[in-house]
Amino acid sequence: MIQLNGIEVRFGDFTALKDINIHVKEGQFYTFLGPSGCGKTTTLRTITGFIEPAAGTVMVKGKDITHVPVERRNIGMVFQNYALFPTMSVYENIAFGMRVKKVNKTDIDRRVKEMALKVDLTEQQLSRKVAELSGGQQQRVAIARALVNNPEIICLDEPLSNLDAKLRVQLREELKEMQAKFGITTVYVTHDQEEALTLSDCIAVFNKGFIEQIGTPNEIYSASKTEFVCNFIGDINKLTPKVVQAIAQQTGRALNPEAATYIRLERIYVNHSDASRAAFQARVIGAEYFGLYIKYLLEMDGQTLKCIDKNDGRQYLKKGDAVEVSINPADLMVY
């Protein structure tokens, strides 16, 4: 559906994107993930046409649109702050694109009302000014406005970043449902790894204008290809050479103690030994209560280790308690 081939974007002397190659399949929910300033929004704006690349091509359905002006691309976009026109009502905002295209009034009215229904906006809300709506309603207007013109692709630039935590989770779910309902190819930009993992079919992790890894959420999380991805996604422990050597000795696995070796928090077993794992004696030095789970801070062989334990009603561990920690070498990520 969308193909970016060797995209390079420069702002003066600064190269913002270098050799970006992406292939988004039809109907896919594709996420650009990365820290601030990594080039994810620049890539999105290159697809929508706000930025013209210095090199490379943007193809949609096999057609080169690299130099097609933004207004002729028919790619819907939801902006970070929604960019709803404050002087217009909700209805006028949604109808804007059709009025530009001089669609007749009856069709505009029908399509606006249909779209409002699909995104759960009432008729009364249509006549309101956008400033009178809540954050969640504004997001729905922005999505309706982007979708009403029947675009082939919809691009969303961190649309949840300005919302509070609870609303963010709620709207994330709504967004996923909506995408499934409309079946539209979606390109989504976020710096929030949880958002990327829960929403996406495919994720491209950006770093300093390059793509570090492209893969499914599980591939990105469980089989991070680079140290950057491994560190950026989720919470993680970096093991000391001494611990790595001990794991190698106990399990007979060939491990290089000098290599950067990581293990995710949930892959550390506490008081749950198994023959296939390396076992260590540790002591609890701190605990954080999260409700759903408890995060422990352990001291083991001179290494501080973080791990989590499900809050299943058992009495949780206290500072100073001695515990047995076991690690499966198959869970290690080595770089």
Partner 1 sequence: MQATKLPLKTRIARMTPAQLALSCVMTAVFVWFIMACMILPIANLLKTVFFEGGKLSLDAFQKLIKSPRAMKALRNSFILAPTLSLTVGFVGISLVLITEYFDIKGAKILRLGYLTTLIYGGVTLVSGYKFIYSNTGVLTNLLASVFPNMNRNWFTGYWAVLFVMTFSCTSNHMIFLRNAMRAVDFQTVEAARNMGASQWYILRRVVLPVLLPSLFAVTILTFITGLCAMSAPLLVGGKDFQTINPMIKQFADMTTTSAKSLSATLSLVLGLATMLLLAIMTFIEKRGHYMSVSKVKTKIVKQKINNPVVNVLVHIYAYALFVIYVIPVVLIVLFSFSDSAHIQLRQLDFSTFSLKNYAELLSKTTAYKPFVVSIVYSALAAVIVGMLVVIACRYIQKHKNGAAATTLEYSLMLPWLLPSTLIALSLILAFNQSRWYMFNQPLVATLWLLLIGYVIIKLPFTMRMTKAAFFSLDNALEDAAKNMGAGEVYTFRRVIFPVLLPTVMAIAALNFNSLLTDYDMSAFLHHPANPTLGVKIKSLTEEMGNSSDGVALTFVYAVLMMIISSIVLYLVYGRGGRESIKE
Cβ nearer to partner 1, comparing 185 with 224: 185
Grouping H, G, I as helix, E, B as strand and the rest as coil, residue 23 is strand
Calpha distance 267→275 (Å, rounded):
15
Cβ nearer to partner 1, comparing 9 with 197: 9
Q: Do 31 and 200 contact (CB within 8 A), yes or no?
A: yes
Calpha distance 231→265 (Å, rounded):
12
Q: Do 227 and 207 contact (CB within 8 A), yes or no?
A: no
Cβ nearer to partner 1, comparing 70 with 117: 70
Cβ nearer to partner 1, comparing 132 with 274: 132
Cβ nearer to partner 1, comparing 10 with 25: 10
Calpha distance 117→95 (Å, rounded):
14
Q: How far is the CB of 56 from partner 1 (least distance, A)?
A: 12
In one-letter notation, the amino acid at residue 111 is R
Calpha distance 299→295 (Å, rounded):
13
Burial class (CB in 10 A: 0-12, 13-18, 19+), 75: buried
In one-letter notation, the amino acid at residue 256 is N
Cβ nearer to partner 1, comparing 99 with 242: 99
Q: How far is the CB of 97 from partner 1 (least distance, A)?
A: 3
List the one residue out of 286, 285, 279 whose CA is nearest residue 324: 279
The whole-angstrom distance between residue 171's C-alpha and the CA centroid of its chain comes to 14
- The footprint of partner 1 (CB under 8 A) covers 9-11, 16, 42, 45, 48, 50-54, 69-72, 74-77, 79-81, 83-88, 96-97, 100-101, 145-146, 149
Calpha distance 270→226 (Å, rounded):
28
Cβ nearer to partner 1, comparing 87 with 218: 87
Q: How far is the CB of 149 from partner 1 (least distance, A)?
A: 6
Q: How far is the CB of 49 from partner 1 (least distance, A)?
A: 8
Calpha distance 170→176 (Å, rounded):
10
Q: How far is the CB of 95 from partner 1 (least distance, A)?
A: 10
Q: How far is the CB of 11 from partner 1 (least distance, A)?
A: 6
Q: How far is the CB of 173 from partner 1 (least distance, A)?
A: 25
Q: Do 198 and 172 contact (CB within 8 A), yes or no?
A: yes
Read off the tokens for 329. 């070498």
Calpha distance 105→128 (Å, rounded):
19
Q: How far is the CB of 155 from partner 1 (least distance, A)?
A: 9
> What is residue 298's DSSP assignment?
E
Q: How far is the CB of 291 from partner 1 (least distance, A)?
A: 28
Calpha distance 128→141 (Å, rounded):
11
